[in-house]
Amino acid sequence: MSFPTRLQTAAGQVAGRLDAALATLPPSAVREAMGYALRGGKGLRGYLVLESAALHGVARDHALTAAAAIEAMHAYSLVHDDLPAMDDDDLRRGQPTVHLAWDEATAILAGDALQALAFELVCLPGQPNGAQMALTLARAAGAAGMVLGQALDIAAETAAQPLTLEEITALQAGKTGALFEWACTAGPRMAGADPAPLARYAAAMGLAFQIADDILDTEGDASTAGKRLRKDAEAGKATFVSLLGLDAARERAETLIDTACAALEPYGDGAQSLRDAARFVISRDR
């Protein structure tokens, strides 16, 4: 089975778990907006949870719940990032953003509810190491992780000088990398094993993912990507491509994927699916 097919299959299974969770909520515009925000996307973070869990012998049912949690957290971040006060985007995953499909208040509440759902899922009775999973998810998503990265990104729009390579690397380690690390280390954390090898894998892959995004924004002509690129250029914001150049950025991303794959050596052939995921990160079209 090809990697895209495996990824699509896993995404469908995680979506089913999320649909079941949403079905327990009272009908409302917020619930509808939550479901809308969860549609589409490749489900890569959820896939990483499932594969890291399988690598450590975690039951599939528990893994699916944790995978649903990270996809809910990621969806919350996208809903809020798209708001006019943030990135002010009109499209997400090929459809109007939540604040346009409904309104800003509903988008904010839907994002809040998706974040709460993520924590609810990892803390469900029977979930392995629920307290540790919730603690690490809070740290990954909060003011030392994803939220910090977004704050640094917003600040860069009005900074007197464009970010340096070191600064933009630190920014993306929070904005993108923190949730990738949680996803990749979910398996060993649920199993009570050492998360260090998969944390190293995640750090390299998460940075490669963002470099690939910058390359796609530079080369692509999709409306959302083009709008973001123009906005960044007008604000004088640096990207990996603007700092390194297109060819060097591609080379950096490929080197990072080699580093990510090397981190998987302790797992041998059992980690092939994670190697495939790493290579997918720099070969995807969005």
Q: What is the pLDDT along the chain (286 residues), one digit of tens a residue?
A: 899 999 999 999 999 999 999 999 999 999 999 999 999 999 999 999 999 999 999 999 999 999 999 999 999 999 999 999 999 999 999 999 999 999 999 999 999 999 999 999 999 999 999 999 999 999 999 999 999 999 999 999 888 888 999 999 999 999 999 999 999 999 999 999 999 999 999 999 999 999 999 999 887 654 444 455 445 544 457 899 999 999 999 999 999 999 999 999 999 999 999 999 999 999 887 6
Q: What is the pLDDT of residue 222?
A: 47
Cα 221 from chain centroid (whole Å): 22
Q: How far apart are CA 188 and CA 57, in angstroms?
A: 9
Prediction pTM value: 0.93
Q: What is the pLDDT of residue 286?
A: 66
Angle at 202 between CA 201 and CA 203, to 5 degrees: 95
Residue in 278, 285, 272 with CA at minimum distance from that of residue 1: 272
Q: What is the pLDDT of residue 187?
A: 98
CATH of 3-281, one of 3.10.580.10, 1.10.730.10, 1.10.600.10, 2.40.30.10: 1.10.600.10
Q: What is the pLDDT of residue 224?
A: 47
Phi, psi of 25 (to 5 degrees): -90, 150
Q: How far apart are CA 37 and CA 114, in angstroms?
A: 9
Domain boundaries, the chain: 3-281
Euclidean distance between the first and final Cα of the chain, in Å?
A: 21
SS (H, E, C) 76-144: HHHHHHCCCCCCCCCEECCEECHHHHCCHHHHHHHHHHHHHHHHHHHCCCCCCCHHHHHHHHHHHHCCC
Residue in 90, 82, 215 with CA at minimum distance from that of residue 150: 82
Q: How far apart are CA 170 and CA 134, in angstroms?
A: 24
Q: What is the pLDDT of residue 220?
A: 67
